């Protein structure tokens, strides 16, 4: 699974899977779906950071209290629950804007419904615990492809890479690079020059089709090295991976949406009382004008 900090957990296709009419709504209202997905991730990031900033005894159950290392947001792994939370939140943002743009009741209904689904998904995420890894491996950038002379038929080939840590854990595979070349050449693959501090090597996934990028090395390749892809001569291992899986799921102290809503209502009540006191003071002399 990818890390939360690798980028948005959902894509436009995930949103349209939930709402078949979404693209038409976005087109008619001028809403940028990519922007809404980014905003949803940023809002959830703020929520997660608030949890992580709490003292351990308040954020997590006593089970994790003795755990000495500080927790960081880059340790959080994207799980199906977190992805659904982000998807529903993005949909709520879309229909919120659509409603205020058109003032159509059906948009308000969908906004409220997706907002409820987002809160439910958040509660599911909390209930299953915080998905963490001890040594997070960031997603690699796309590889640099080149050619060298070799006995190979030409064509179009694809490759991606992933960083590997000292424990042999691989981060999420990078976005794919492609290269077309003539007969008599072989494709070379180089990982990005800037490697994470905890990376000890990288993996290469390559193939002739985007949906069949297979692992080409049995041990992590040295950082800074270049791999030569020879179709059919490699190990043809597993498909390009999604990254690390959670190693720890400490229970999270409940911080339910209902509690936060209740706090918000209490604050609104206090604000209203202050406003009433101010109005009373301003109108005490009957003029409605505050005097110095």
Enumerate the domain spans of the chain.
Answer: 4-127, 144-229, 259-292
Three-class DSSP category at 75: helix
CA geometry: angle at 23 spanning 21 and 29, to 5°? 100
* pLDDT confidence of residue 55: 55
Listed as ranges, residues in the chain with pLDDT below 70 are 54-69, 234-236, 253-292
* pLDDT confidence of residue 237: 77
Tokens, residue 189? 């693959």
Question: Cα–Cα distances in Å, from 232 out to 12, 111, 152, 235, 270?
Answer: 35, 51, 11, 8, 71
* pLDDT confidence of residue 277: 37
Q: Looking at the domain covering 144-229, what would its CATH class be?
A: mainly beta
Tokens, residue 180? 């077309």
């Amino acid at each position: 699974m990818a890390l939360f900090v690798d980028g948005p957990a959902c894509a436009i296709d995930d949103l349209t899977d939930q709402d078949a009419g979404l693209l038409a709504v976005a087109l008619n209202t001028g809403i940028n779906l990519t922007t809404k997905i980014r905003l949803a991730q940023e809002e959830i990031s703020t929520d997660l950071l608030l949890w992580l900033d709490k003292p351990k005894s308040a954020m997590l159950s006593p089970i994790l209290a003795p755990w000495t290392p500080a927790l960081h947001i880059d340790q959080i792994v994207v799980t199906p629950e977190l992805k659904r939370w982000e998807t529903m939140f993005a949909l709520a943002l879309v229909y919120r804007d659509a409603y205020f743009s058109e003032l159509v009741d059906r948009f308000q209904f969908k906004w409220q419904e997706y907002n409820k689904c987002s809160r439910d998904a958040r509660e599911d995420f909390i209930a299953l615990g915080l998905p963490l890894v001890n040594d997070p491996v960031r997603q690699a950038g796309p590889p640099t492809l080149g050619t060298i002379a070799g006995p190979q038929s030409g064509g179009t080939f694809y490759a991606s890479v992933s960083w590997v840590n000292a424990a042999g854990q691989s981060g999420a595979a990078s976005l794919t690079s492609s290269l077309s070349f003539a007969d008599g050449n072989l494709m070379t693959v180089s990982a990005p020059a800037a490697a994470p501090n905890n990376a000890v090597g990288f993996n290469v996934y390559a193939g002739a089709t985007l949906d069949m990028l297979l692992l080409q090395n049995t041990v992590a390749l040295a950082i800074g090295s270049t791999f030569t892809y020879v179709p059919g001569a490699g190990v043809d291992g597993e498909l390009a991976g999604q990254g690390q899986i959670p190693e720890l799921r400490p229970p999270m102290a409940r911080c339910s949406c209902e509690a936060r809503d209740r706090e918000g209502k209490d604050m609104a009540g206090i604000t209203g009382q202050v406003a009433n006191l101010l109005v009373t003071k301003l109108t005490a002399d009957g003029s409605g004008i505050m005097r110095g």
